[in-house]
Amino acid sequence: MGNMIKVGMGDLKACKCPDALTTLGLGSCIGVALYDPVTKVSGLLHFMLPDSTQIRNNSNRAKFADTGIEDLITLMVSMGANKNRLVAKIAGGAKMFATSGMSEILCVGDRNAEAAKKELAARNIRILAQDTGLDYGRTVEFYSETGDYKIKAVGKGVKVI
Amino acid sequence: MSTINLDELNDMQYDVLKEIGNIGAGNATTALAQMVNMKVDMSVPKVELVPFSQLADFIGSEEEQVVGMLLQMSGDVDGMMMFFFNMRSAHNLVDMLMGRPITDDNDSDEFGEMDMSALSEIGNIISGAYLVALSKLTNLTIETSVPSMSIDMVGALLSVPAIEFGKLGDKLLFIQSQLGENGCINGYFLMIPELESYDKILGALGL
């Protein structure tokens, strides 16, 4: 196995086989993994907010679903991926605190998941698998060698999608 | 619009924010100590401007499992307040509160219904103490929501305030106070006011 490359909050990275990508403690954010099954170029985006056009301060493009996915595709194409072959797996978008009163803030997970699906559909990228919503945090690892997206959650064991 | 620029806070402003952390957390620690009837230490608070990508490093590792509580502040000061206890501390706290003997090896991630309710009450009391102190100091009205509790990875819990403040910028200014560094209770407070509330807080203190 190659190196494990860490992607922070509001960040994106890409790698080639046999490296892997990881992001730790995804909460309401979404981890979008993109993959070209032929060249095995892989990318991971950890975005925080659904839409860059709604926010005035949008200079960090990896923070948003729309600009983040766009930039990740550009980066992966520059590393040899074919845009038309890309497929996606997504995880995250949890509702970390259950309470009334703060509903707008706390539902951002759902909005993020919707935005990811919308932005991927707009670029004709098929979502092969997803693990979104619910109420727990996730650590994800994407393996370029196999295209496996490994999801770990507290008390829930490990699953591979 | 806010006049404060988080990237250009001067030493004086930092010191005042630290002092707020000190007084707020001091009061909260006292309340906690009274509740469990033992001495709880507190460290000097830190005021940090942290990029989101490094946020969790301040508490430990992103994957560390913690008990987190979140409150929303409204009134003159808007924003969020969070605090975290590691699992061991949370068990110790509950045991002390319930008058049970403290076991050294209680790291399990299970809490009974009664324990959860006790933790929630602890959250209520110490956050109340923190904010009453801040409110008295600044003469500002601060109301809070009922605390909401979650047990999960610290990175995942921190994503909630990070996303909220991600709408404003790429960094989060927080006032952090650690308590019980060497004792059996280890916890962190995070006070995360909105940008415009910093103006009010600093303004109320004559800066």
**A17-58 pLDDT, tens per residue?**
899 999 988 989 999 999 999 999 999 999 999 988 877 777
Residue B108: closest C-alpha in chain A: A155
Distance from C-alpha of B67 to C-alpha of B122, rounded to nearest angstrom? 12
Q: What is the residue range of A137's domain?
A: 4-160
A114: domain CATH number?
3.30.1330.200
N-term to C-term CA, chain A: 19
CB contacts, 8 Å: A29 with chain B: 159, 162-163
Distance from C-alpha of B150 to C-alpha of B184, rounded to nearest angstrom? 21
Which range, A97-106, B150-159, B175-184, is most confident?
Answer: B150-159
Which of A4, A54, A97, A132 should we substitute to test contact with B (largest number of B Cβ atoms within 10 Å)?
A97
Q: Which of A141-155, B6-20, B119-133, B176-190 has the lowest mean pLDDT?
A: B176-190
Which is more confident, B181 or A133?
A: A133
Cβ contact, residue pair A8, B166, below 8 Å: no
The SS3 of residue B133 is helix
Cβ contact, residue pair B170, A8, below 8 Å: no
Rounded alpha-carbon distances, angstroms, from residue A68 to A9, A33, A64:
12, 12, 5
CB contacts, 8 Å: B163 with chain A: 28-29, 48-49, 105, 108
Residue A73: pLDDT above 80?
Answer: yes
Cβ contact, residue pair A139, B158, below 8 Å: no
Which range, A39-53, A54-68, A86-100, B188-202, is most confident?
Answer: A39-53
CB contacts, 8 Å: A138 with chain B: 156
Which is more confident, B42 or B4?
A: B42
Q: Strands A148-153 and B65-75: what pairing?
A: unpaired
Residue B181: pLDDT above 60?
Answer: no
By C-alpha distance, which of B21, B105, B122 is closest to B67?
B122
Q: Which of A4-18, A79-93, B47-61 has the lowest mean pLDDT?
A: B47-61
pLDDT of residue A102: 58
Which range, B4-13, B122-131, B175-184, is most confident?
Answer: B122-131
Q: Rounded mean pLDDT of B182-198?
A: 75
Residues from A contacting B (CB-CB < 8 Å) are 8-11, 24-29, 48-49, 55, 57, 59-60, 63, 94, 96-99, 101-102, 105-106, 108, 135-139, 154-155
| Per-residue pLDDT band at A74 (split at 50, 70, 90) | very high
| Per-residue pLDDT band at B3 (split at 50, 70, 90) | low
User: Is ipTM strictly over 0.95?
Assistant: no
**Token pair in block for residue B61:** 């590792």
- Average pLDDT across chain B, whole number: 79
Distance from C-alpha of A44 to C-alpha of A47, rounded to nearest angstrom? 10
| Per-residue pLDDT band at B28 (split at 50, 70, 90) | confident
- Average pLDDT across chain A, whole number: 88
N-term to C-term CA, chain B: 17
Single-letter residue type at A67:
T
Residue B68: closest C-alpha in chain A: A97
| Per-residue pLDDT band at B194 (split at 50, 70, 90) | confident
Residues B80-94: tens digit of each pLDDT: 888 888 888 888 888
Give the distance from residue B161's alpha carbon to the nearest chain A alpha carbon, in angstroms: 9
Cβ(A32)–Cβ(A44) below 8 Å: yes
Residue B203: pLDDT above 90?
Answer: no
Q: Which of A19-33, A134-148, B99-113 has the lowest mean pLDDT?
A: B99-113
Q: Closest partner residue to A48 among B56, B65, B166, by Cβ?
A: B166
B79 conformational bin, left if phi > 0, alpha if psi -120 to 50, beta if neither: left
Q: Closest partner residue to A154 among B146, B153, B162, by Cβ?
A: B153
Cβ contact, residue pair A96, B152, below 8 Å: yes
Cβ contact, residue pair B155, A26, below 8 Å: yes
pLDDT of residue B1: 42
Q: Rounded mean pLDDT of B68-75?
A: 87
CB contacts, 8 Å: B158 with chain A: 25, 27
By C-alpha distance, which of A91, A113, A109 is closest to A160?
A91
| Per-residue pLDDT band at A99 (split at 50, 70, 90) | low
Number of folded domains in chain A? Answer: 1
Cβ contact, residue pair B156, A60, below 8 Å: no
Cβ contact, residue pair B163, A48, below 8 Å: yes
Cβ contact, residue pair A27, B146, below 8 Å: no
CB contacts, 8 Å: B108 with chain A: none
- Model-level pTM? 0.84
Q: What are phi and psi of B159, to 5 degrees?
A: -65, -25
Cβ contact, residue pair B55, A94, below 8 Å: no
Catalytic residue positions of A? 29
pLDDT of residue A13: 93
Give the distance from residue B2's alpha carbon to the nearest chain A alpha carbon, in angstroms: 14
pLDDT of residue A34: 93
Cβ(A133)–Cβ(A109) below 8 Å: yes
pLDDT of residue A106: 66
